[in-house]
A = this chain, B = another copy of it.
Amino acid sequence: MTRRTRGAPVRERAFHERLARTLPAGRRGLLPLGDDATALRPPPGRVAVVSTDTLVEGTHFLATSPPERVGAAATGVSLSDVAAKGATPDAILLALVLPVGTESAWAESVVRGAERFGARFGAHVVGGDTKPGPVRAVVSTVLGWGRAAHLAPRTGARPGDVLVTTGTVGRGGLAAARLAAGGAPGRKAVVDLLDVRPRVREGIVLAPLSHALIDTSDGIAEAARLLARASAVRLVVDEEKLPLARGIGSVAPTAARRRAVAFYGGDYELLAAVPRGRVVRAERAVRAAGGRLTRVGRVERGRGAWLRTRRGRVVMPAPGWQPFGPERSFDRG
């Protein structure tokens, strides 16, 4: 879709009726798409795992961002949360806030982007809502099915556990740094920030082997802090072992800047506390699921999240993404 062609403005009922005809999910649920609600049959022995997340124009995407990417990213952030509980995603609901006059094609591309992205992980758009408002926003709710015994709550980390992470550290921070630098790479960075890669398959195999599992959407440092706090333990991450995203060195020549980029957030990896005896099994399982797992630290008695730097000092890591400004509670670990 190009922004030059100004298409027909969105109309709620016409929009919903067109989606009901075109989305494959219309033939999946227990209710036709467009009914008051969505109905889903739980697989035997499973529990519902639900999460909701929001992308707002101006904060998370621009009016010029490709709408399919916006839909995919909105779905990706919720998929990441459901993945962090080891659940198999099933259904996506999308609540769209749209200024009156928004082209129908824009909204349809958002939904199509969500549907295509979700389908890669077995989830489909089954419902939603469209409301007028002064700014575009996309709220995704993802429902998946997990196992009560394998939810790996963030309260579950125990001293002796090994800390492992999927993928790399700093992809989100790298995109943000490039965006801040402006220019042509800046424009690419807007799209890079929407390139959310939820670790759904990794979560499904990691959760049953982990004491605690959390996603790193606000940065690995923040994830470690939340895990330490919820589990009342001390987490030590070895900076040396962090699988840094390729290219961080080019935008962050000093150790301090590199750390700021690495801990910025927007990574959507999984950080797990795995009992020592299961680490090898976890590594094999994640590899078999197409991912990679890196040992980055350990859980100890004590409090707070700490970073052992390349020079061997143990310091408090920089805070991750703080959307409403600096949090006073941060330093209390």
Given contacts A13-B330, A137-B133, contact A50 B30 (CB under 8 A): no
CB distance from A259 to the nearest CB of B (A): 20
Q: Is the CB of A141 within 8 A of B323?
A: no
Chain B: minimal CB distance from A273 (Å): 14
In addition to A38-B51, A42-B42, A59-B133, 16 A-B residue pairs with Cβ atoms within 8 Å of each other are A9-B324, A13-B330, A35-B85, A35-B153, A37-B81, A40-B48, A41-B48, A52-B52, A52-B127, A52-B141, A53-B131, A54-B95, A95-B139, A133-B135, A134-B134, A137-B137
A215 to B129, CA, bound (A): 14
Contact indicator A325/B9 (Cβ below 8 Å): yes
Q: A151 touches which one: B39, B42, B215 (CB < 8 A)?
A: B39
**Interface CB pairs A-B, < 8 A, 26:** A9-B325, A11-B322, A11-B324, A11-B325, A17-B329, A31-B85, A32-B154, A35-B153, A35-B230, A36-B154, A36-B214, A37-B82, A37-B85, A41-B48, A50-B93, A52-B93, A54-B97, A55-B131, A56-B131, A56-B134, A58-B134, A100-B325, A130-B324, A134-B134, A134-B135, A135-B135
**Given A59-B133, A134-B58, A325-B11, A40-B32 contact (CB < 8 Å):** no
Are B151's CB and A31's CB within 8 A? yes
Q: Does A299 contact B (CB under 8 A)?
A: no
Q: Are A329 and B135 in contact, with the CB atoms below 8 A?
A: no
A47 within 8 A of B: yes
Q: In this assembly, does A240 line the interface, its C-beta being within 8 Å of a C-beta of chain B?
A: no
A323, B14: Cβ atoms closer than 8 Å: no
Please give the distance in Å from A78's CB to the nearest CB on chain B. Answer: 9
The complex places the Cα of A151 from the Cα of B31 at a distance, in Å, of 8
Report the separation of the CA atoms of residues A267 and B185 in the bound assembly, to the nearest whole angstrom: 51
Per the CB 8 Å criterion, the residue count for chain A at the interface is: 79
CB neighbours of A148 from chain B (8 A): 30, 39, 41
A249 within 8 Å of B by Cβ? no
Query: A87: CB under 8 A from chain B?
Result: yes
Given A85-B39, A324-B10, residue A48 in contact with residue B51 (CB < 8 A)? no
Q: Mark A308-333, 1 if CB is under 8 A from B, else 0.
A: 00000000000000111101111000
Question: Does A71 make an interface contact (CB < 8 A)?
Answer: no
Structural contact, B13 and A327, CB atoms closer than 8 A: yes
- Contact (Cβ within 8 A) A84 B37: yes
A47 x B52 contact (CB < 8 A):
no
Give the contacts of A37-77 with B (CB-CB under 8 A). 37-42, 46-60
- In the complex, whether A220 has a CB less than 8 A from a CB of chain B is no
Taking a contact as CB atoms under 8 Å apart, the answer to whether B137 and A97 are in contact is yes
Which single member of B39, B57, B133, B325 contacts A49 (CB below 8 Å)?
B39
Q: Does A132 sit at the interface, judged by CB under 8 A?
A: yes
Indicate if the CB atoms of A53 and B129 lie closer than 8 Å: yes
Q: Compute how far the CA of A47 lies from the CA of B173 in the bound complex, rounded to whole angstroms.
A: 41
Q: Which residues of B contact A93 (CB under 8 A)?
A: 50-52, 141
In the bound assembly, the distance between CA atoms of A41 and B100 in angstroms comes to: 40
| Residue contact A323 to B48, C-beta cutoff 8 Å | no
User: Within the assembled complex, what's the spacing in Å between the Cα atoms of A328 and B9?
Assistant: 12
